[in-house]
Amino acid sequence: MHFQELLDSKKFLVISELQPPKGTDLTEFYDYAEKMKGRVDAINVPDLQSAVMRLGSLSASYLLKEKGFTPICNMTCRDRNRLALQSDLLNISVLGIENIIVSRGEDPSLGDHPDAKPVFDLTPLEFISAIRDLQKGHDMAKSDLHGTPKFCVGSTVNSSAQRGALDLEIKKMEEEIRAGVDFFLTTSVFELNIFENFIKKIEYLKVPIIPGIMILKSVGMARFMNKHVEDVFVPEVLIERLMKSADKPKTSVEIASELINGLKPLCQGVHLIPFGWEDRVPSIIEKAGVTIQPQIHTDERR
């Protein structure tokens, strides 16, 4: 079953992020993927996340597809101009990858190559519009294509934004939906009441919303995010719970599974963000009691 069909089915979906390696050794990458088999509906593959150089999302997504997974390929506006972005969309399409996430991308100054020059030739909205044009059969220069790509397009939204900032996020969502976005992944959710307020405000948009569930590895990680990561806030009650725990990995799994259960009535799925704890994903999913739709691939339909 294609990812767009899963979205249309209204089923509660499970997506997990899987970071490509920094290098060419795929052993751990494949090992983590195998542990997710039968437990997730799709695997989201970041594109040089946090502006750190590593194997790209395009090739990693293709490798996962060849192994029978449903990949979601990430594309940022940071590293490519409009020529390269459009060309890579065609590359992705001819490799049989149908699902993409569009984002701005973090500034290179935050990553491991701080002297790298950012591109930002297109905004995410302009890039989404370019995707729509390619699917209509022409590029940004209005030149006709010989064969057109077909994508299920996702974007990102900060569901924890407050007051005026939330209004701006919702306006951005409206514009991106008009431009062709099919679903949204949110920033990490730690407070269900804030997310429920967000869902009530955007209910009229009638678009699948899949919130992020970040796995808290430690108290230090939570404190660091609260201090340095924009749009993410870990409540003190969760930090204290981790601090007092005699088995912090077990407590981290419990927190993530509890958040999943709390989100089930509010949205159409969850997006697990392991940050190096990919091996914990199966136990989180099992503890949350969620099951996935059996995958039916094209060759099985014939």
Digit-coded pLDDT (tens) for 44-93: 999 999 999 999 999 999 999 999 999 999 999 999 999 999 999 999 99
Ordered DSSP codes for 146-178: SS----EEEEEE-TT--HHHHHHHHHHHHHHHH
What integer pLDDT is reported at residue 163 of this predicted model? 82
The reported pLDDT for the residue numbered 293 is: 61
Average pLDDT over residues 8-31: 96
DSSP 93-152: HHTT--EEEEE----GGGSS-TTPPP---S-HHHHHHHHHHHHHTB-TT-PBPSS----E
* pLDDT surpassing 80 at residue 38: yes
| CB distance 292 to 40 below 8 Å | yes
The closest of 139, 138, 127 to 180, measured between CA atoms, is 127
Other CB atoms within a 10 A radius of the CB of residue 183 amount to 23
pLDDT of residue 174 exceeding 90: yes
pLDDT at 225 over 90: no
Give the distance from CA 92 to its chain's centroid: 17
Q: Is the predicted pLDDT of residue 256 greater than 70, yes or no?
A: yes
In the block, which residue shows the tokens 């984002």?
103
pLDDT at position 229, please? 81
Q: Are 227 and 182 in contact (CB under 8 A)?
A: no
pLDDT > 80? residue 292: no
pLDDT in the model for residue 300: 38
Q: Which ranges in the chain belong to alpha helices (H)?
A: 3-8, 27-36, 57-66, 82-94, 124-136, 163-179, 192-202, 219-228, 236-244, 248-263, 281-288, 298-301
**Cα–Cα distance for residue pair 155/177, rounded to 1 Å:** 9
Asked if residue 1 has pLDDT above 70, the reply is no
Percent of the chain with pLDDT over 70: 96
The pLDDT, as a whole number, for residue 114 is: 96
- The CATH architecture one would assign to domain 3-301 is Alpha-Beta Barrel (3.20)
* 95-138 tens-digit pLDDT: 999 999 999 999 999 999 999 999 999 999 999 999 999 999 99
pLDDT confidence bin for 301, thresholds 50/70/90: very low
Q: What is the mean pLDDT of residues 220-247?
A: 90
Q: What is the mean pLDDT of residues 149-156?
A: 97
**Average pLDDT along the chain:** 93
Residue 29 has pLDDT above 80, yes or no: yes
pTM for this model (two decimals)? 0.93
Is the confidence at residue 295, as pLDDT, over 90? Answer: no
